[in-house]
Amino acid sequence: MDKVRKPRETVVLIHGLGRTQASMLPLSVRLERAGFRTSFAGYKWVQMTLDEGVRRVTRHIERVVRRYGGPVHLVGHSLGGIIALRIKRSRSDLPIHRVVQFGSPNLGSSVAGQLKDNSLATWFFGPIVAELSEDLTTSKDRDPDVAAIAGDDFPKEIARVYGVSEPSDGLVTVRSAWGHEAGLRLTAHTFHTGLPLSRSVARATVDFLKTGNAEIPDENG
């Protein structure tokens, strides 16, 4: 008698500010090899507010649910992780199970704080820069189905130039990436843009999505 195959679960991948879906492609390949179906949620980040980003990605998730059903997991890099957590918190009607954030500025980013006073940056990025400089916490209740992975491999001397004095990935401090809401908090020895490219981060993401727990080994990803 043939074994009944378990339906594949879908992971929606959400890229960060100033990035494209291509930045999540290596992670998509690794998730697909681990048995997941992946879907890329795109959004136009130029002159976009956080609420607009949430609405656009939510519409994509609704289409995924109509096509494949649930459960659906969300994995977001930087701003993408903020959007993912907002959707999980606000749309309990959707079958969203687990969320993984990579280097998301949950408590704000001092780099964004500097950019919000730069006319060129605000013209290019729009109001989202000012929003990312603020504490974006929506709840202080830790959720066991949320994991936050922070990067800590960035030269402190260079980071200080951008107003970052704590351990960070160059743009977001470990403390801010962990935030208040993640039930699982991990640190990867990589920099901000390297988080979605890291093998170790990908392995931890797969483990968390499958089991609700994970760890990152000491070696580089």
CATH number assigned to the domain comprising residue 61: 3.40.50.1820
- Report pLDDT for 1: 43
Neighbours of 212 (CB within 10 A): 14
- Report pLDDT for 162: 62
DSSP assignment string, 29-82: HHHHHTT-EEEEE----TT--HHHHHHHHHHHHHHHHHHH-S-EEEEEETHHHH
- Report pLDDT for 59: 97
Residue 110 lies in a domain: yes
- Report pLDDT for 151: 96
Neighbours of 119 (CB within 10 A): 7
Total domains in the fold of the chain: 1
Residue 1 lies in a domain: no
- Report pLDDT for 194: 96
Beta bridge partners of 184: 147
Residue-range definition of the domain harbouring residue 106:
10-211
- Report pLDDT for 110: 80
The one-digit pLDDT tens for each residue of the chain (221 residues) are 445 456 789 999 999 998 899 999 999 999 999 999 999 998 887 778 999 999 999 999 999 999 999 899 999 999 999 999 999 999 999 999 999 999 999 999 887 777 777 777 777 777 888 888 899 998 889 999 999 999 998 767 666 666 677 898 989 999 999 999 999 999 999 999 999 999 999 999 999 999 999 999 765 44
- Report pLDDT for 154: 76
CA–centroid distance for 196 within its chain: 9
- Report pLDDT for 221: 41
Residue 3 lies in a domain: no
Residue 118 lies in a domain: yes
- Report pLDDT for 3: 53
**Residue 116: helix, strand or coil by DSSP?**
coil
Residue 5 lies in a domain: no
- Report pLDDT for 158: 65
Residue 221 lies in a domain: no
State whether the Cα torsion 30-60-185-23 is positive or negative.
positive
